[in-house]
A and B are shown apart, each in its own frame.
Chain A
Amino acid sequence: MIEVRGVHKSFGKLEVLKGIDCHIAPREVVCVIGPSGSGKSTLLRCINGLEQVNKGQIFIEGVEVTSSKVDINAVRQKVGMVFQLFNLFPHKTTLENITLAPIKIKGIPREEAETIAIELLRKVGLPDKDHVYPAQLSGGQKQRVAIARALAMQPRIMLFDEPTSSLDPEMVGEVLAVMKDLAHEGMTMVVVTHEMGFAREVGHRVLFMDEGIIEEDAPPAQLFDHPQQARTRQFLSKVL
């Protein structure tokens, strides 16, 4: 479903990705862990074209997103993304946040888009928050609206960029619960996270990244309990 081949990415002189290869199958939940600056977020942002790779290729459902000829907007409609800082549209209500893209991009009639949006708000546990502005929501609620907004485009893949890193600890659980539901429904997910519990419980596979390469790629039980690489062991000993 997602195929990453030999991807390199630099910001100026700093090489952030130094040859990434990986494959993500449909319905798979892949968690990406690793220290700050290891390139996890950059890899995620390359997958939906928010960053352009310097070398290598990325395919989503057979379409090369790294090609200059690709219709990147069409690809992005199939790939939802959730950001660390939510990035909700502050000038729009939660309902408008969710319906904006379906109405403007897909041309779905407003009433239909709103019905879908209300259904999604119910799904993320915020059925009565349709007419409030983001400023009136807590961090955990904002992130759940952001997930609903991404889901409104009916994506085939969801990318999560440290979705709980800027939340107060007591709000982490409610966001992870929504993500867990999504995983159980069979959504293909790539999750950059520091939540080792989530990675272990929900992830089918865990990628450990360090200094721009994938050091280790294994099912969570193996990676957490019997890490093969010294660098992985060193990282885990600090975070677990």
Chain B
Amino acid sequence: MSIHGLAVVANNFHLFLIGTLITLEITALSVGMGMILGLLIALMKMSRVKFISIIGVAYIDFFRGTPLLVQLMLFHFGILPLFFDTGPFVSAVITCGLNSAGYIAEIVRAGIQAVDKGQMEAARSLGMTHTQAMKFVVLPQAYKIVIPPLINEFIMLLKDTSLVSVISVAELTFRGKLLYSTTYEPVWVWGTVCLLYYVVTKSISMLGDWAERRLATE
């Protein structure tokens, strides 16, 4: 702890901010991908067609059952280069998106199953197809139930994006490592990194609280 450390942080603060921005970008894109894919995987897992449901189960097993750090290296160095030439950023988004889809699928499935069975029955008894009943009756009620666990997942994912520094994406943690290795100011550098992560995750959780309150008034 020294005045020198404060100067290091102040002089490089724009680099921290750029890193935070990249962290946010990766998180936002992964979450978007994870939500769409996660809903699809959840519906697949609940399918009455055995084959489709097995794919859903296997997907979730793989992405929840293996470390994200290992998945990042497998996809970035191994699998993705077989198909196209990706930079680290794209690899990071794809892998984090695939990974969060596994978790989001389970959140969505729990949400759908938490909606009273009578809702589906009432909708079906009016003559709706299964898809119509899901779309108009069950899913709109599941949204509310899944918001708190979904916010939790966003926060986890945001923190987990720090792992993408191993494939050299210049996000917040990567910038911290870089700066630390040239300045040797661990408390100032890593303290600032912590603070920036905290500010971002706190903002997400406040946004979640707000969304929950808004939906609760209905």
Contacts and interface: CB of A to CB of B under 8 A. Distances in A.
Interface of A: 48, 50, 73-74, 76-77, 79-81, 83, 85, 87-91, 100-101, 104-105, 133, 146, 149-150, 153
Interface string B114-130: 00101101111111110
Given A90-B141, A91-B140, A101 B121 contact: no
B121 A105 contact: no
A18 B19 CA distance: 70
Contacts, number: 62
A76 B122 contact: no
B132 interface: yes
B126 A89 contact: no
Contacts of B123: 89, 101
Nearest to B121: A50
Contacts of B116: 87
B24 interface: no
Contacts of B140: 91
Given A100-B136, A104-B132, A104-B136, A89 B119 contact: yes
Given A87-B116, A90-B141, A91-B141, A153 B127 contact: yes
B218 A91 contact: yes
B37 interface: no
B126 A149 contact: yes
B137 interface: yes
A100 B136 CA distance: 8
A211 to B, nearest CB: 25
A101 B124 CA distance: 10
Contacts of B126: 76-77, 80, 100-101, 105, 149-150, 153
A1 to B, nearest CB: 18
Contacts of B125: 48, 50, 76, 79-81, 83, 150
Interface string B94-129: 000000000000000000000010110111111111
A102 to B, nearest CB: 9
Nearest to B130: A73
Given A100-B136, A104-B136, A105-B132, A87 B127 contact: no
B93 to A, nearest CB: 33
Nearest to B143: A91
Contacts of B128: 73, 101, 104-105
B118 A83 contact: yes
B119 A87 contact: yes
Interface string B73-98: 00000000000000000000000000
Contacts of A88: 122
10 contacts: A73-B129, A76-B124, A77-B126, A81-B122, A83-B122, A89-B137, A104-B128, A105-B126, A105-B132, A133-B218
A122 B89 CA distance: 61
Contact of B127 (A76, A83, A91, A133): A76
A87 B136 contact: no
A83 B122 CA distance: 8
A87 B118 contact: yes
Given A89-B137, A91-B141, A100-B136, A74 B127 contact: yes
Contacts of A150: 125-126
Interface string B139-150: 011001000000
A48 B127 CA distance: 10
Closest 7 CB pairs of A and B: A77-B127, A87-B122, A87-B118, A101-B126, A81-B125, A76-B127, A73-B127
Contacts of B137: 89, 100
